[in-house]
């Protein structure tokens, strides 16, 4: 490890109580997902560069910066009944509400640590995921929108926030929260078509936020070379123009080719390269990663390894990178749209 890497440090924030969210025996969003991430963390060879922090619950008042009172009441009522169905895909168990509050609180804690100058980047190893949760509805395995809550906190501090979401599913909830906000640039790479059916390239923001939503819908089988080309060709010009002060990364690993519920073609090596480029958009100390989706345990472990190394300044390849898949036509169409509309 070179001296530059050795001088860097990561905040790793988690809480084993997040394992107590249990949405059902056959549900894809199992506690073992977090166990796989924690296993990857235990195997890294730079533990002396990691500060481990126990996630604490969010202050309830901060939830209302993103979510409506009726939505929160609905979740708390389900919790009071010992759990139950939230929507067709989303269920709560007796431990789900506390897990959700821990997941939502982790990002705010991480921001406070990073602002104090304690670490160069942070990884929030939490569940349930959050990017589908809208201001008024929990959905798509998500209860509270962890990334959006953290972004709202940063906005209250006068920051400009870049949110990059490379989960295979479009982060409709995050998009909804910031669709008209000129101080948040939301960028989403996702499979198209796929749940939840949002994220068309024509969805670019509204009002003062026109042009601050950038969707990159990609066909099944898309490989890492296409992601990197889209990042360089489409995203970076937007980011340079926007000039963010903080980066929040919704790191869903279900774009991995092993994932059982999606059809994209990435490998953990691709996550290494892509993450390394993404984090360069803001200064060290302003980079925060959230675990989102990813439903193959081996893919989760390998991809987490790649991302943790990227945050410390190393590029590692647990698997070879992928290339040669479809998607170039989609990138060309999006590039043309962006240039035509000067977004």
Per-residue 3-state assignment (H helix, E strand, C coil) for 230-273: HHHHHHHHHHHHHCCCEEEEEECCCCECCCCCCCCCECHHHHHH
Q: Which helix (H) or strand (E) holds 124?
A: strand 121-125
Tell me what percent of the residues of the chain surpass a pLDDT of 90.
93
Residues 6+ positions from 181 with CB-CB distance below 8 Å: 155, 208, 209, 212
**265/262 Cα distance (integer angstroms):** 9
β-strand 90-92 against 84-87: which pairing, if any?
antiparallel
Token representation of residue 108: 């705010």
**pLDDT at position 2:** 46
Above 60 in pLDDT, residue 4?
no
Active-site option among 21, 67, 79, 132? 132
pLDDT surpasses 60 at 3: no
132 is an active site residue: yes
Is the model's pLDDT at 105 over the cut of 80? yes
3-state DSSP call for residue 203?
Answer: coil
Q: How confident is the model at residue 336 (pLDDT cuts 50, 70, 90)?
A: confident
CA distance 18 to 98: 8
Query: Where do the domains of the chain lie, and which CATH numbers do they carry?
Result: 3-341 (3.40.800.20)
CA distance 149 to 131: 10
- Where is pLDDT greater, at 8 or 14? 14
Structure tokens given for 254 = 């279900």
Closest by CA to 148, choosing from 71, 93, 35, is: 71
% of the chain at pLDDT higher than 70: 98
**Tell me: the pLDDT tens digits for 18-47?**
999 999 999 999 999 999 999 999 999 999
Q: Which two tokens stand for residue 201?
A: 């390239």
Q: State pTM to two decimals.
A: 0.97
CB 169 within 8 A of CB 140: yes
**Between the CA of residue 236 and those of 121, 246, 303, what are the distances in Å?**
20, 15, 23
Q: Is the pLDDT of residue 256 over 50?
A: yes
pLDDT tens across 276-307, in order? 999 999 999 999 999 999 999 999 999 999 99
Instruction: Check pLDDT > 80 for residue 51.
Output: yes
């Amino acid at each position: 490890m070179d001296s530059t890497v050795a001088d860097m440090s990561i905040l790793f924030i988690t809480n084993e109580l997040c394992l107590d969210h249990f949405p059902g025996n056959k549900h894809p969003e199992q506690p073992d997902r977090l166990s796989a991430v924690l296993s990857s963390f235990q195997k890294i060879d730079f533990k002396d560069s990691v500060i481990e922090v126990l996630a604490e619950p969010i202050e309830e008042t901060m939830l209302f910066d993103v979510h409506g009172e009726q939505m929160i009441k609905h979740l708390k009522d389900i919790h009071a009944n010992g759990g139950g169905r939230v929507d067709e895909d989303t269920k709560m168990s007796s431990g789900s509400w506390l897990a959700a509050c821990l997941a939502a609180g982790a990002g705010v804690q991480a921001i406070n640590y990073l602002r104090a100058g304690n670490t160069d980047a942070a990884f929030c190893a939490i569940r349930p995921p959050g990017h589908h949760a809208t201001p008024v509805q929990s959905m798509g395995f998500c209860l509270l929108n962890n990334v959006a809550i953290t972004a709202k906190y940063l906005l209250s501090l006068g920051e400009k926030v870049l949110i990059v979401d490379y989960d295979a599913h479009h982060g409709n909830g995050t998009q909804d929260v910031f669709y008209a906000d000129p101080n948040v640039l939301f960028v989403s790479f996702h499979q198209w078509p796929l749940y939840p059916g949002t994220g068309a390239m024509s969805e670019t923001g509204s009002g003062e936020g026109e042009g601050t939503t950038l969707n990159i819908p990609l066909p099944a089988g898309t490989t890492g070379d296409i992601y990197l080309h889209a990042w360089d060709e489409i995203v970076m010009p937007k980011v340079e123009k926007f000039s963010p002060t903080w980066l929040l990364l919704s790191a869903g690993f279900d774009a991995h080719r092993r994932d059982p519920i999606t059809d994209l073609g990435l490998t953990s090596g691709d996550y290494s390269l892509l993450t390394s480029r993404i984090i360069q958009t803001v200064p060290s100390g302003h980079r925060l990663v959230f675990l989102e989706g990813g439903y193959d345990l081996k893919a989760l472990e390998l991809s987490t390894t790649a991302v943790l190394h990227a945050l410390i300044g190393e590029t590692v390849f647990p698997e070879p990178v992928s290339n040669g898949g479809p998607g170039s036509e989609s990138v060309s169409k999006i590039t043309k749209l962006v240039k035509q509309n000067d977004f």
